[in-house]
Amino acid sequence: MNRFWVTHARTFADAVKAARAVLRDLEPDELPAVLRPVERYSGGRLPPPLAGTLLEALVGNDWFRSQVADRGPYDDVVVQAFVEQPPGWWEAVVTRIVDSQVASSADEAKSHADRIAAATAQLAEAKRRIDQLRQDLTAAERAERADDKLEALQRRVRELEREAAGHAAAVDKVAAALASARDEVAVLLNERDTAKSDVRALKSERATLLRRVEQGGVERDRTDPVRFARELDQLVALARSVGSSGPGSSSDSAGDSGDDAHALPPGVRPDDAAAVAWLLDHASGTQWVIDGYNLSFALGKAMADPAEARREVERRLAKLARLARSGAVLVVFDSAQQGERAVRSGRLVDVFFAPSHQSADDAIVERAADPGTIVVRELRERSEAKGALVLWSDALVAWLG
């Protein structure tokens, strides 16, 4: 019987309160032995086991029940039913239990409905973002097709120029065709630039979304639309610039920085662990500059505890530092603190916190201008433009194992 009252002790808190008040006024020698642990409890609400003991005594101990009844009558009908025990008093007890369970079920149903509504809203937003990312991906694919068409038209322009030099009699006709082709080239160049702008905007939006994930604004799991959006964006990043010769290189970077200190050989991709292994074997004395946030996110350590994530990144990069020969391994993190913050050197890995007026991206780009720099970061164009060889975080994560 005691188990029944323990289970429903909170449902009859008003009866427990009335009985406990009487218990405090009894003389020590009047206390039933079974109620002494209850009387000794000095806290607020009685724990369910003690409350169940008190309720059982109120129901089964006639003397104690009479002591409680002498303090009545009670306004609460259930308390009065406990002390008087009229015919059918159990109906009041059962009614109170049923009402309590109905109220609890209603609250649980409302909470469940609220969770469903929130999940539905999140799903709708995820679908909207996926549709937008698909449109952006289509724009990037159009840019790649425009590059191919532009190259073909440029070859045609060169052919027409040679024809003009070798066939003086047809110079007027060739000149007209040449002008038309150049006009079409200009249009395609403009379309290509517009598509590139769309891709850059997508990368910026991706960075903002990833920062929101780090700050806890979005739940992260394998079904999270943010993770799916990031995977789609990695597909967008495969769109080649005009004149690019392969993954991890661009004609723009070659024009700005001169000859690269290092370049991956054919068949070695910047998103593959083989790229890291090849550079360790063939590029001694280089500096490795690593975006700490991107690497910690790729390692699955960037959410709950930023400090622990940084320590994990340093620990994992120690393997790279031991094999990098005379080259330095520098990992860069964002910082919200004011003022300059110098490089903190560990035993193997150097750590740099970007000052508050500068992002980690900008700090990485500054160091990308140093000769023989290898950057591990999904941000590519700005670092490549400074002459750095850029690897993807996926390559380093795969190599670290």
Kindly report, residue by residue over 245-273, the tens digit of the pLDDT: 444 443 333 334 344 446 788 888 888 88
Q: What is the pLDDT of residue 227?
A: 54
pLDDT of residue 241: 35
pLDDT at 344 over 60: yes
Contact call for residues 373 and 286 (beta carbons, < 8 A): yes
**pLDDT confidence of residue 239:** 42
The mean of the pLDDT values for the chain is 74
DSSP 265: P
What is the distance of C-alpha 122 from the center of its chain? 15
Confidence band, pLDDT 50/70/90 cuts, at residue 224: low
Please give the share of the chain, as a percent, with pLDDT higher than 70: 72
pLDDT at 332: 87
Ranges 7-16, 156-165, 335-344, most confident: 156-165
Does 306 have pLDDT greater than 70? yes
- Rg for the chain, CA atoms, rounded: 37
- Classify each residue of 145-167 as buried b or exposed e, where b means 16 or more C-beta atoms within 10 Å of its C-beta: ebbeebeeeeeebeebeeebeee
The residues spanned by each domain of the chain are: 2-86, 118-243, 247-401
Q: Is the pLDDT of residue 76 over 80?
A: no
pLDDT at res. 256: 41
Helix (H, G, I), strand (E, B) or coil at 287: strand
Is residue 231 exposed (0-12), middle (13-18) or buried (19+ Cβ within 10 Å)? exposed
Cβ atoms of 175 and 203 within 8 Å: the answer is no
**Would you state the torsion angle of the CA atoms of residues 237, 243, 248, 249, taken in this order, to the nearest 10 degrees?**
-150
Query: For residue 180, what pLDDT is reported?
Result: 84
The DSSP line for 316-376 is: HHHHHHHHSTT--EEEEE---SSS--PPEE-SS-EEEEPPTTS-HHHHHHHHHTSTTEEEE
Q: Which residues contact 183 (CB under 8 A, 6 or more apart)?
A: none
Confidence (pLDDT) at 264: 84
Read off the pTM.
0.36
Classify burial at 223, counting beta carbons within 10 Å of its beta carbon; exposed 0-12, middle 13-18, buried 19 or more: exposed
Q: What is the pLDDT of residues 346-379, one digit of tens each?
A: 668 888 888 777 777 887 887 777 776 767 655 6
CA distance 146 to 184: 11
Question: Which three-class secondary structure state does DSSP give residue 103?
Answer: helix
Q: Is the pLDDT of residue 72 over 80?
A: no
* 8 Å CB contact between 386 and 364: no
Name, in order, each residue with C-beta under 8 angstroms of 67's C-beta and a sequence gap of 6 or more. Answer: 22, 26
pLDDT in tens, 25-46: 778 777 887 887 877 887 777 7
Please give the average per-residue pLDDT across 153-173, as a whole number.
81
Give the model confidence (pLDDT) of 78-137 as tens digits: 777 777 777 767 676 777 667 766 666 666 666 767 777 787 888 888 888 898 888 888
Residue 107 and residue 161: Cα distance in Å, rounded?
81
Q: Give residue 254's pLDDT.
A: 32
The predicted structure's pLDDT at residue 109: 62
Per-residue exposure over 324-355, b if at least 16 CB sit within 10 Å of its own CB, e if not: beebbbbbbbbbeeeeeeeeeeeebbbbbbbb
Strands 329-333 and 287-291: parallel
Residue 327's nearest CA partner among 377, 290, 380, 272 is 290
pLDDT at 104: 60
